[in-house]
Amino acid sequence: MTVLTRHRELGLTDDEYELIIEHMEREPNEVELAVFSLMWSEHCAYKHSKRLLRSLPVEGGKLLLGPGENAGAVSLGGGLACAFKVESHNHPSAVEPFQGAATGVGGILRDVFAVGARPIAILDSLRFGEVERSARSRYLLEQAVAGIGHYGNSIGVATVGGEIYFEDAYEQNCLVNAMCLGLIDENRLMRAAAAGVGNVVLLFGARTGRDGIGGASVLASAELGELDAAKRPTVQIGDPFEEKKLLECSLELLDRDLLVALQDLGAAGLTSSSAEMASKGEVGIDLDVRRVPLREADMEAFEIMISESQERMLCVVEPARVDEVVAVCEKWLVNATAIGEVTATRRLRVFDGDALVGDMPVTALVDECPVYELDPVAPSVSMYPAPPAAIGALDPGDTLLALLRSANLASRRWAFEQYDCLVGSRTVRRPESADAAVLALPGGGAIAVSIDGNGRRVACDPYRGAVEAVLECSANLACVGAEPLGLTNCLNFGNPEKPHIAWQLIRAVAGLADACRALSIPVVGGNVSLYNEAGAGPIFPTPVVGLVGELPRAERSGRLGFVQEGDVVAIISAGWAPAATGSELAKLRGEAPFGDLPQADLGELRTLHAAVRQGVRAGALRSVHDVAEGGLAVALAECCLAGGLGARVDVGPLGPSGEALLFGEGPGAFVVSCDAGSLRAFGGAAVQIGTVGGDALAIDGVLSVPVSELSAAHAGGLASLLD
Amino acid sequence: MKIGVVRFPGSCDEVDALQAAERVGDAELLWYADHDLRGADAVIIPGGFSYGDYLRVGAIARFAPVMEEVERFARCGGPVLGICNGFQVLCEAGLLPGALLPNTSLRFLCRQVGVTVASVDTAWTRECTPGERLSIPVKHTTGRYYAPEPVLDELEANGQLVFRYAPGENPNGSARDIAGVSNKGGNVVGLMPHPEHAVDALTGSEDGIALFRSVVGAAAALAA
């Protein structure tokens, strides 16, 4: 293969290659071409999304660290900060689900401890094809869940929440997004900028091997094809024990103030970590690849530069502190090797022993990748085929049971029991006990976190679907009494070079931006995963939103289940207009995801969420649950299931009891239970509809189903599809 | 009264155990590579994945330098508690009878379970009442207690079965619903459930504190 076509193999266009020659003032050699191909990949350079991302609000409130650092951070008050980020590992998981998901968790953990924070919680957002029909999707689900558990459990970070949905659109291209949160003293947040000419660049952690070579360009920046087995060597292999030592070692190094800068090695390995550190610090870096400890002795220079071997960190150290750094690494049984130094050249120079094998301007690598305009065209018909109808005309009771049994709404117990949700002794609300996970903080307060993104609804209406993802997380936080502090997002889309995908992406980002502005939530950073499509077409556009908030009194955290016989059941709502479009029921009925979603008045909903939050904080609401997938009837059933108590309600005061009211979806409503007197504070927003008690969910004139039957449908759902 | 909590590479629950111990007295982490228990009156081998669970759970940690001191301490009657991975380590070290095998589901399982106290004649259960039911979480892949039938009979006869899963709540297929056992002296106890994660109602249960309270009394009795 000649150099003339080599760049295409590596995912660069002819024009991009010309531009590289311009910046280099000569043809790049093999090492340089490999480095450029990674730095200019979609995964590293965001070349199709950078312009859009600039529209997201990235300031204000309690933001401490915004986009561009290893992880974002917000202030929790009292000198404490929370660092967090969500990231995708979609294509590796589609090729090798156990290791793909495991290393997805490993990567996001490193992002968080790279800023100095101790990781305290993991959440995950997963999408697969229809497990009822697809053996491959069952395999992917089982392996991905096992991989997440393997890594998170072994490293001792609690997996406290997440979401899993199944749609045909994810059959060939599953999604595995992982989010991590960490805690740190806000004065000790670490940045990744290299500094101090003459300082030592030190690599520590696992040895470097051939695993994951080309992951960022080959896997993360192109569509998946038929021969994906051949890509298996591009998937990294995770070792949580190595990462556990690396985590403790990194935090001790930071605690002892031994480091000038710290950066994790993720996608594009040594290449992107060194280039980005140099870029942020406006310096140059010289590296000698021959000093890198290798797993396989005969690796070439370019392979060492682009390897994505896991569990490695890069740091900058003053020469006088190197011995101390090495001693701490030895204590934790971690390899540490000086591999280079900080220079004033603003060039990334790669040496192989004495030979200079690569010499590139840092700005060209990091900042000069061309950024592309998208060419959006709205589709006039659904881009996705209608799913096969799973149910026909049923009475409302059977419809409710069908929904509770469906893969998307059935209990996630099968999955979350495979995760340690307790380690750290902070978990105040475990999965299925509340709408958001709650983690206690020193001093009596707590943080709450939720992750959400409904691809089917975004497929119907990318703008409103994305708005709903933010609203859903905000509503989840309100349910436990938490106020949002910051948001991270992962934009999972198809090929943005295709006009309909470009349209989805533009509309969805506009929705995220508008919702964040209206709710005054800064975006602290995130990740973009494009080219999620294969022969059968694109995935549903899936912006996944992770939202972190705080509440002053952990013991007042809201619960979702009915707890006390005789409590009144009420709906607290604003502008709630549930409709069939894009709903779980529409899917079960075999309707294609297409058409406008209900409009949301963001100002009104912000007020509503604040009122609910206040009610929870005041201890006035004994249970709170947001009405979401499956609509009002499913929300009521979930309240019964979580509390083990029935309820008798009359939905008459809410409007005609048709399917739209019972099973329609749209933002803006909560099911609460409380003393009758507690409702007064909500004025006209609250409508009393019934009473907690008995052993059935009874909706007057509509349905009556014993809680035991609801439970059998819901609890058995997912596990029965798998075993 | 000081409780030492051993930290191996790969330990995960050592800080939780430390903080639980601090609710009843002084507590300190003990480094795996030191031949030193730092004057602890009781020792906890915590949960986690020591040495990544490589080779076989607990098999490498059992040879860590600190374990020589733990063994000496245990053989002199010092109170030692192994939780989850710590239980596995104590079985590997021969300080407790039996072995832990993979769960029948072959999966990791995290769940709050009911655990009944079958013996109060140990250093770690003397403050409990016989038959008392505790709500404590389990979280493990390798927690199925196994010993040959004659050994189980002997343990039962000796009162060495300390904890049992409540009827219907055995999460892993353990023989005779065994959740925890002791040595003959009752000073060394191991259990799969995590009492250190059950010391505060805010995070689910405070039933596990009974074990920590018990050892304070045991250590005082030992000193007297």
Predicted local confidence at residue B89, as pLDDT: 98
Q: What is the pLDDT of residues B118-153, one digit of tens each?
A: 999 999 999 999 999 999 999 999 999 999 999 999
Distance CA A43, CA A330 (A): 34
Q: What is the pLDDT of residues A494-541, one digit of tens each?
A: 999 999 999 999 999 999 999 999 999 999 999 999 999 988 899 999
Q: Are A147 and A106 in contact (CB under 8 A)?
A: no
Q: Do A428 and B202 touch (CB under 8 A)?
A: yes
Q: Are A152 and A420 in contact (CB under 8 A)?
A: yes
Stretch among A11-20, A210-219, A693-702, B189-198 having the lowest mean pLDDT: A210-219
* Buried/exposed code over B207-219 (b: 16+ C-beta within 10 A; e: otherwise): bbbbbbbbbbebb
Among B141, B33, B110, smallest CA distance to A421 is for B110
Predicted local confidence at residue A224, as pLDDT: 62
Phi/psi at A369 (5° precision): -60, 130
Determine the length of chain A: 723
**Rounded to 5 degrees, what angle do the CA atoms A522, A527, A533 make?**
135
Strand ordering across the sheet containing A158-166: A63-65, A72-77, A80-88, A175-185, A118-128, A158-166
Among A214, A236, A127, A211, smallest CA distance to A171 is for A127
Residue in chain B nearest A151 by alpha carbon: B52
Predicted local confidence at residue A463, as pLDDT: 98
Higher pLDDT, A555 or A297: A555
Radius of gyration of chain B (CA): 15
Residues A427-441, mean pLDDT to the nearest whole number:
97
The proportion of chain B whose per-residue pLDDT surpasses 90, expressed as a percent, equals 96
ipTM strictly over 0.85? yes
Q: Are B168 and B174 in contact (CB under 8 A)?
A: no
With a cut of 70, say whether residue A434 has pLDDT above it.
Answer: yes
* Residue listed under structure tokens 């797993």: A295
Architecture per CATH, domain A3-40+191-366, reads as Alpha-Beta Complex (3.90)
Q: What is the pLDDT of residues A566-605, one digit of tens each?
A: 999 999 999 999 999 999 999 999 999 999 999 999 999 9
A568-722 CATH, one of 1.10.10.410, 3.20.20.120, 3.90.650.10, 3.40.50.720: 3.90.650.10
Distance CA A343, CA A291 (A): 18
Q: Do A153 and B9 touch (CB under 8 A)?
A: no
The proportion of chain A whose per-residue pLDDT surpasses 90, expressed as a percent, equals 89
Q: Which amino acid is at B21?
A: A
In chain B, what residues touch A155 (CB-CB under 8 Å)?
12
Predicted local confidence at residue B181, as pLDDT: 98
Q: Which domains does chain B have, with CATH numbers?
A: 2-223 (3.40.50.880)
Q: Do A240 and B49 touch (CB under 8 A)?
A: yes
**B146 near A CB under 8 A:** no
Q: Do B53 and A154 touch (CB under 8 A)?
A: yes
Predicted local confidence at residue B173, as pLDDT: 98
Structure tokens at B220: 């005082």
Q: Do B203 and A426 touch (CB under 8 A)?
A: yes
User: Model confidence at A133, in pLDDT bands (50, 70, 90)?
Assistant: very high
Higher pLDDT, A462 or A720: A462
In chain A, what residues touch B49 (CB-CB under 8 Å)?
153-154, 156, 240-241, 244
Instruction: State the catalytic residues of B.
Output: 84, 194, 196
Predicted local confidence at residue A235, as pLDDT: 74
Q: Do B109 and A418 touch (CB under 8 A)?
A: yes
The alpha-carbon gap from B142 to the nearest alpha carbon of chain A, in Å, equals 13
Q: What is the pLDDT of residues A145-175, one digit of tens each?
A: 999 999 999 999 999 999 999 999 999 999 9
Q: Do A153 and B49 touch (CB under 8 A)?
A: yes
Residue in chain B nearest A433 by alpha carbon: B204
Q: Where in chain A is the domain with CATH 3.90.650.10?
A: 3-40+191-366, 568-722
Residue in chain A nearest B203 by alpha carbon: A428
Residue A84 pairs in a beta bridge with: A72, A181
In chain B, what residues touch A417 (CB-CB under 8 Å)?
109-111
**B151 near A CB under 8 A:** no
How many C-beta neighbours within 10 Å does residue A380 have? 7
Percent helix, strand, coil in chain B, to 5, is: 30, 25, 40
With a cut of 70, say whether residue A465 has pLDDT above it.
Answer: yes
Q: Which amino acid is at B195?
A: P
Q: What is the largest CA-CA distance in chain A?
A: 84
Higher pLDDT, A721 or A666: A666
With a cut of 50, say whether residue A227 has pLDDT above it.
Answer: no
What is the pLDDT of chain B when averaged over all its residues? 97
The alpha-carbon gap from A321 to the nearest alpha carbon of chain B, in Å, equals 24
Q: What is the pLDDT of residues B157-167, one digit of tens each?
A: 999 999 999 99
The proportion of chain A whose per-residue pLDDT surpasses 70, expressed as a percent, equals 96
What is the pLDDT of chain A when averaged over all its residues? 94
Phi/psi at A357 (5° precision): -110, -5
Which of B5, B12, B83, B109 is the best substitution to test chain A (most A C-beta atoms within 10 A)?
Answer: B12
**B54 near A CB under 8 A:** yes
Strand ordering across the sheet containing B26-31: B26-31, B2-7, B42-45, B80-83, B188-191, B178-182, B161-165, B109-117, B133-140
Q: Which amino acid is at B41?
A: D
Q: What is the pLDDT of residues A250-270, one digit of tens each?
A: 999 999 999 999 999 988 899
Residues A217-243, mean pLDDT to the nearest whole number:
68
With a cut of 70, say whether residue A221 has pLDDT above it.
Answer: no
Structure tokens at A154: 């072994």
Q: Do B9 and A241 touch (CB under 8 A)?
A: yes
The proportion of chain B whose per-residue pLDDT surpasses 70, expressed as a percent, equals 100
| A94 to A162, A221, A527: CA distances (angstroms) | 19, 14, 18
Strand ordering across the sheet containing A696-699: A621-626, A669-674, A568-573, A686-692, A647-649, A696-699, A703-706
Q: Do A427 and B203 touch (CB under 8 A)?
A: yes
The alpha-carbon gap from A142 to the nearest alpha carbon of chain B, in Å, equals 11
User: Model confidence at A1, in pLDDT bands (50, 70, 90)?
Assistant: very low
**B200 near A CB under 8 A:** yes
Which of B11, B199, B203, B212 is the best substitution to test chain A (most A C-beta atoms within 10 A)?
Answer: B203
B residues 5..44 contacting A (CB < 8 A): 9-13, 15-16, 19-20
Residues B31-41, mean pLDDT to the nearest whole number:
96
With a cut of 80, say whether residue A233 has pLDDT above it.
Answer: no
Strands A686-692 and A63-65, sheet pairing: unpaired
Among A296, A295, A277, A297, smallest CA distance to A287 is for A277
For A156, the closest of B12, B19, B194 (CB atoms) is: B12
